[in-house]
Chain A
Amino acid sequence: MALDQSFVGRSYPPTAPYEVGREKIREFAEAVGDANPAYTDPEAAKALGHPDVIAPPTFVFAIAFKAAGQVVHDPQLGLDYDRVVHGDQKFAYVRPVRAGDRLTVTSTIDAIRSMAGNDILDVRGEVHDEAGEHVVTTWIKLVARAAEEA
């Protein structure tokens, strides 16, 4: 069933702050096999002009996707989550995420489309730090595949 177009433009309340820890960044960098010292060594990060270790570019996805759960699981929207796949992903950075950040995410439904029975949902996440400064915008495109014919 096609999703209700009237949800386009709807924003959800900002999430509680997520505190970015050095060891969580290290764990993520190790999991993707990336030995760049900017992720683990505060001195190396400072030499590049960052106040503390920074996170790999895609690290913030987990925070934004959790926030998008408000949209995905909104019973009024009624997305069939069991049929959802990740279509596109995009990030635009004002600055890199870094250790010590306390990040909140405000999710907004940018678009809802229906194509060949698939529901396509674009969720934008605006990520801000504790001072209210904009850090990164994330765009998550989710595709709920059409239910198979019985």
Chain B
Amino acid sequence: MTAKIAYDDVEVGTELPAQSFPVTRATLVQYAGASGDFNPIHWNERFAKEVGLPDVIAHGMFTMAEAIRVVTDWTGDPGAVVEYGVRFTKPVVVPDDDKGAVIEVTGKVAAKLDDRKVRVDLTVTSAGQKVLGMSRAVVRLA
């Protein structure tokens, strides 16, 4: 593991570069294929509405995969991630148009731990709503 960020260079409160991740219906179809999750709520509007959703929604695991990129792009080495957990609080609703939805992710160092590890707390929103709760990663820095 060779993170490019040094433990000694960060403090509690250090902000990670924020990122925005667009997601369209095409993104969801591609993710369904790659992940093997073909639940129709992620690609079939008729089905999604039948089960009470406002529209097609993104896979929670897709949102989780995007959110950790703020951490892995920061450390450089994705292998530096020691722990990662989230709670799925609200769906990311993806309309059938060219723009789709956007997942906005910010991250901040919340605690310095032993063994050159830090805990990063992530804030993940879409359309102004928090979509992940308790979104935390522990990473080992250089």
Pairing of A with B: yes
> Using a CB–CB distance below 8 Å, which chain A residues touch chain B?
27-28, 30-34, 36, 38-39, 47-50, 54, 56-58, 61-62, 65-66, 85-93, 95-96, 139
CA gap between A39 and B77 in the complex, in Å: 10
Would you call B35 an interface residue if the criterion is a C-beta within 8 Å of the partner chain's C-beta atoms? Answer: yes
Known A-B contacts A36-B73, A89-B86, A95-B79; the reply to A27 vs B64 at CB < 8 A is no
Number of A-B contacts (CB under 8 A): 100
CB-nearest residue of chain A to B83: A92
Query: A137 to nearest B CB, angstroms?
Result: 9
Q: Which of A49, A50, A57, A92 contacts B68 (CB 8 A)?
A: A57
Are A57's CB and B84's CB within 8 A? yes
Question: With contacts A48-B1, A57-B72 known, is A92 near B82, CB below 8 A?
Answer: yes
Minimum CB–CB distance for A41 against chain B, Å: 13
Shortest beta-carbon distance from A85 to chain B in Å: 7
Q: Which of B21, B68, B86, B134 contacts A33 (CB 8 A)?
A: B21
A31 to B29, CA, bound (A): 9
Q: Report the separation of the CA atoms of residues A34 and B37 in the bound assembly, to the nearest whole angstrom.
A: 19
B85 lies within 8 A of A31 (CB): no
Size class of the B contact interface (CB-based, 8 Å)? 20 to 34
Our pick among A31, A47, A93, A96 for the contact of B31 (Cβ within 8 Å) is A31
Given A34-B69, A48-B1, A88-B134, residue A57 in contact with residue B31 (CB < 8 A):
no
User: Which chain A positions have C-beta within 8 A of B72?
Assistant: 34, 36, 56-57
A48 in complex: contacting residue of B2, B61, B65, B81, CB < 8 Å: B2
Q: In the complex, what's the smallest C-beta–C-beta distance from A60 to chain B, in angstroms?
A: 11
| Chain A residues near B66 (CB-CB < 8 A) | 32-33
14 contacts between A and B (CB under 8 A): A30-B30, A32-B62, A33-B66, A47-B2, A50-B79, A56-B78, A58-B61, A62-B37, A66-B36, A86-B60, A88-B88, A89-B60, A90-B86, A139-B85
With A30-B34, A62-B37 as given contacts, are A91 and B78 in contact (CB-CB < 8 Å)? Answer: no
